[in-house]
């Protein structure tokens, strides 16, 4: 009897404790729900829109490319709204570097209340540098002492979470670059006081976060992100923005991948006759496969290192022309420089532009005459791609070119004269495998085969999970090391594509999709706590465009709008248009 009474009281205590814990957790959860930002756009905060316009342009360009709605917000306008109205208007606020070091105490107070109400704030580099109250808000004490240091997330998993592509970090989570190894970035001397450190350089914090019970958060990044983008390192800015806006602010966005699927672009180069037999073998063995369309670029002339050496691919030879036609039935044919690979690459600076243009035109004309199709893709021999060549490509109907700069990042508008180039031309940065990119480099530096295969597996998983486009490149090689890697790549891509997890597409296909997507006008407004009102239009059609909404784990749309298909993953809904329409509007309800 005593045992029963004791058991009853013990059980009652456990039940009461469980009830109180559940009640507290529910109250905290409801607090977080109430504090969830209502706004669906980003506010880019600047001291003045005309001050340091290239910084604003860098952020605005990446947001447009990544599909986030944004508005430029002068700091003086912060005082116009209450913190609650500001939160309802903007799901996230970003304090850009270089234009916000002189925050006033009243501006800091508005931002502080915004975060306490559940707002998401990203502060970059020297934002608030001269305002002690702001340093208290971000939980980091800043000093105006810039220096160059490393950037480590501590582990590969953390680097991936923050959007850094596999191959762009090492085993300890240090950010790396093609040809350089560990990269150095500009930092300020800083000390974390109340913020949690997410990345560091060994001495100073590089990424921190300070959270509020309301669900609000302040993320601080101790790197001038726009400054590095403007110097051909786009990935840090893009990775930080997309991670902050999807993992913290969880804002709706227009996915920048065809049909909302992760996509890998494989770019093979044929520089000379040395690759002719291996190219034929890859075709015969099915490693250049119509089901997995690659982009294959050829230097078509009869010479390579100097005029008259006879070492070129010589695409006009009947047997080579037939090989090119076989490849063209399975892949997209592009131009690899101008007519003589090494000569064009290494004499381009000293070659009169008219002569260089003649080499380009001959290469384009030759390939077009063989395939019967216009050449719309390009890759620069030796990575030598001066601005005048980029403009020439844009003028001659090319829509995509490979680039060794901006390594590991997404297709993007070329950045020339400190601003994006207008038009239909897209730059496709190469994703390296650590310090090297093509298989010849990896083999020469004795990178183990298993390591390269593991990188391919991680990269394809990354693209599939984050629904992004990335590009890799090598030569059309068939020696044992390269053959094993290309076989593994083919089998991996075929498996993922057949499972519907990943797409393989040519540069031209992705560029044409991005050009059509860029014409889209769209608006998403919240309706209460469980709905969205959506309007979008595109003169060339909505089919294949995808909108992403965060619904929360275990939540779904009550019903789908006609002609739209939904996929649910990790709390997100990816809504893809499957009908021929140029405009649509509908209301979404979450359950």
Closest CA to 463 of 424, 423, 427, 492: 492
| Residue keyed to tokens 């039935």 | 329
If one counts every other C-beta atom within 10 angstroms of the C-beta of residue 394, the result is: 18
| Banded model confidence at residue 38, pLDDT cuts 50, 70, 90 | low
Average pLDDT value over all residues in the chain: 92
Q: Are 335 and 364 in contact (CB under 8 A)?
A: yes
pLDDT at 15: 30
- pLDDT for 215-251, tens place per residue? 999 999 999 999 999 999 999 999 999 999 999 999 9
Closest CA to 445 of 160, 152, 178: 178
CATH 3.20.20.370 matches 258-514? yes
| Banded model confidence at residue 21, pLDDT cuts 50, 70, 90 | very low
Closest CA to 426 of 441, 439, 415, 437: 415
User: Average pLDDT for residues 559-572, to the nearest whole number?
Assistant: 98
Q: Is 80 exceeded by the pLDDT of residue 31?
A: no
pLDDT at 32: 38
Q: What distance in Å separates the CA atoms of residue 566 and residue 556, rounded to the nearest whole number? A: 9
Angle at 287 between CA 284 and CA 291, to 5 degrees: 110
Q: Is 60 exceeded by the pLDDT of residue 490?
A: yes
Query: How do strand 181-182 and strand 176-177 relate by DSSP bridges?
Result: antiparallel
Q: Are 242 and 255 in contact (CB under 8 A)?
A: no
Q: Is 90 exceeded by the pLDDT of residue 29?
A: no
- pLDDT for 291-333, tens place per residue? 999 999 999 999 999 999 999 999 999 999 999 999 999 999 9
pLDDT at 218: 98
| Banded model confidence at residue 79, pLDDT cuts 50, 70, 90 | confident
Q: Reduce the DSSP state of residue 226 to 3 states and report it.
A: helix
- pLDDT for 328-375, tens place per residue? 999 999 999 999 999 999 988 877 788 899 999 999 999 999 999 999
- pLDDT for 152-166, tens place per residue? 999 999 999 999 999
**Residues ≥6 apart with Cβ < 8 Å to 375:** 333, 334, 335, 364, 367, 368, 398
Task: Give whole-number Cα distances, 569 to 235, 499, 500, 554, 587, in Å.
Answer: 24, 15, 14, 10, 21
Question: Which CATH number is 36-254's, of 3.40.50.880, 3.50.50.60, 3.40.50.1100, 3.40.50.2300?
Answer: 3.40.50.880
Torsion of CA 65, 66, 69, 74, to 10 degrees: -70
% of the chain residues with pLDDT over 70: 93
Q: Which residues partner with 586 through β-bridges?
A: 534
| Banded model confidence at residue 88, pLDDT cuts 50, 70, 90 | very high
- On whether the pTM is more than 0.85, the answer is yes
């Amino acid at each position: 009897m005593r045992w029963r009474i004791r058991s009853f009281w013990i059980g009652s205590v456990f039940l009461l404790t469980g009830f109180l814990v559940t009640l507290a957790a529910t109250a905290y959860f409801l607090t977080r729900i109430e504090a969830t930002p209502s706004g669906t756009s980003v506010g880019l905060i600047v001291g003045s829109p005309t001050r340091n316009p290239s910084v604003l342009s860098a952020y605005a360009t990446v947001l447009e490319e990544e599909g986030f709605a944004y508005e430029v917000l002068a700091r003086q306008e912060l005082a116009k709204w209450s913190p609650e109205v500001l939160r309802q208007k903007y799901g996230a606020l970003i304090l850009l570097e270089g234009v916000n070091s002189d925050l006033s105490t009243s501006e800091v107070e508005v931002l502080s209340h915004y975060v306490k109400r559940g707002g998401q704030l990203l502060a970059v580099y020297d934002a608030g540098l001269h305002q002690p109250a702001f340093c208290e808000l971000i939980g980091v004490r800043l000093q105006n002492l810039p220096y160059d240091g490393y950037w480590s997330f501590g582990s590969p998993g953390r680097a991936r979470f923050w959007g850094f592509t596999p191959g762009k970090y090492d085993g300890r989570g240090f950010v790396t670059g093609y040809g350089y190894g560990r990269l150095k970035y500009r930092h300020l001397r800083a000390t974390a006081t109340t913020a949690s450190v997410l990345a560091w350089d060994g001495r100073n914090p590089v990424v921190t976060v300070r959270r509020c019970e309301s669900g609000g958060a302040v993320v601080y990044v101790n790197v001038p992100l726009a400054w590095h983008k403007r110097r051909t390192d786009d990935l840090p800015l893009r990775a930080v923005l997309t991670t902050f806006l999807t993992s913290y602010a969880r804002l709706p966005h227009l996915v920048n991948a065809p049909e909302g699927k992760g996509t890998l672009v494989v770019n093979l180069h044929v520089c000379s006759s040395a690759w002719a037999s291996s190219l034929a073998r890859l075709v015969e063995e099915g490693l250049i496969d119509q089901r997995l369309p690659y982009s294959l670029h050829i230097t078509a002339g009869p010479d390579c290192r100097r005029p008259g050496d006879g070492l070129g691919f010589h695409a006009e030879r009947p047997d080579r022309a037939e090989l090119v036609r076989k490849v063209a039935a399975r892949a997209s044919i592009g131009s690899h420089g101008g007519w003589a690979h090494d000569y064009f690459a290494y004499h381009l600076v000293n070659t009169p532009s008219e002569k260089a243009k003649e080499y380009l035109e001959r290469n384009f004309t030759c390939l077009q005459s063989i395939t019967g199709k216009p050449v719309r893709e390009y890759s620069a021999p030796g990575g030598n791609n001066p601005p005048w060549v980029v403009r020439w490509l844009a003028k001659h109907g090319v829509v995509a070119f490979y680039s060794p700069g901006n390594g590991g990042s997404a297709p993007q508008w070329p950045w020339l004269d400190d601003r994006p180039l207008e038009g239909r031309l897209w730059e496709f940065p190469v994703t390296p495998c650590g310090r090297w990119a093509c298989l010849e480099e990896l083999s020469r530096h004795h990178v183990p085969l298993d390591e390269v295969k593991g990188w391919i597996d991680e990269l394809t998983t990354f693209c599939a999970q984050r629904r992004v486009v990335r590009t890799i490149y090598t030569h059309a090689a068939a020696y044992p090391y390269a053959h094993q890697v290309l076989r593994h790549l083919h089998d991996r891509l075929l498996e993922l594509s057949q499972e519907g997890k990943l797409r393989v597409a040519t540069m031209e296909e992705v560029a044409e999709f991005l050009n059509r997507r860029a014409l889209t006008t769209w608006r998403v407004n919240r309706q209460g706590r469980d709905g969205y009102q959506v309007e979008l239009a595109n003169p060339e059609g909505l089919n294949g465009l995808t909108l992403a909404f965060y619904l929360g784990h275990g939540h779904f749309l009550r019903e789908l709008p006609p002609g739209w298909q939904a996929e649910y993953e990790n709390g997100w809904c990816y809504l893809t248009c499957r009908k021929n329409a140029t405009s649509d509007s509908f209301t979404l309800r979450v359950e």
